[in-house]
Structure 1
Amino acid sequence: MSQTEIYEKLTDVFRDVFDDEDLTPTAEMTADDVEEWDSLSHIRLMLSVEKAFGVRFSTVELGGLKSVGDLAGLVESKLNGAG
């Protein structure tokens, strides 16, 4: 799956979790950039991403994420069998 395809699917997930049809995640985006992104929505987001891509994240992997770009990279590595 290409980065473009990953971001397209992430956009659907973000819009669903945050109930905002105008939200478009970018590589630089962080939780500070989305008003509704709190600890509870973060859990919902990670579970939704796992479900959408058919992957599982470890606590260590999630703890290392600093941006949406990091998340997209982690998803890509999981889909390519590196994770």
Structure 2
Amino acid sequence: MNRETIVKKTQEVFRDIFDEPSLVIYNEMSSNNLASWDSLHHINLLIAIQNEFQIKFDLQEIQRLKNVGAIIDLVWQKQAQ
């Protein structure tokens, strides 16, 4: 899977989780930029991303996920394994 596809699928997950059909994600986007991105949404988001890409994140990986770019990078890395 190429990076562009990962970004598109990740954006779809964000739109579903945050119930914002026109939401556009960007690498620096974080909970500081999206008011509805609280701890519950964060958990649901990570579960949905793992399900979408059929991957698993460990605790250390989750702790490093500070923004959308980090999420996409980790998905890209997991897909390459």
TM-score range relative to shorter protein: over 0.9
Give the match for residue 37 of structure 2: 37
Cα root mean square deviation, aligned: 0.6
Query: Structure 2 length as normaliser, TM-score?
Result: 0.96
Give the match for residue 57 of structure 2: 57
Structure 2 portions without partners, runs of 5+:
none
1: CA distance, partners of 2:9 / 2:52: 8
Q: Percent identity?
A: 36
1:62-83 deviation per Cα after TM superposition (whole angstroms, max 9, x unaligned): 10111100100000000000xx
Give the match for residue 72 of structure 1: 72
Q: Helix, strand or coil for the counterpart of 2:32? A: helix
Structure 1 portions without partners, runs of 5+:
none
The 10-residue stretch of structure 1 (24-33 or 38-47) with the greater mean CA deviation from structure 2: 24-33
| 1:29 positional shift | 0.7
Moved over 2 A (4+): none
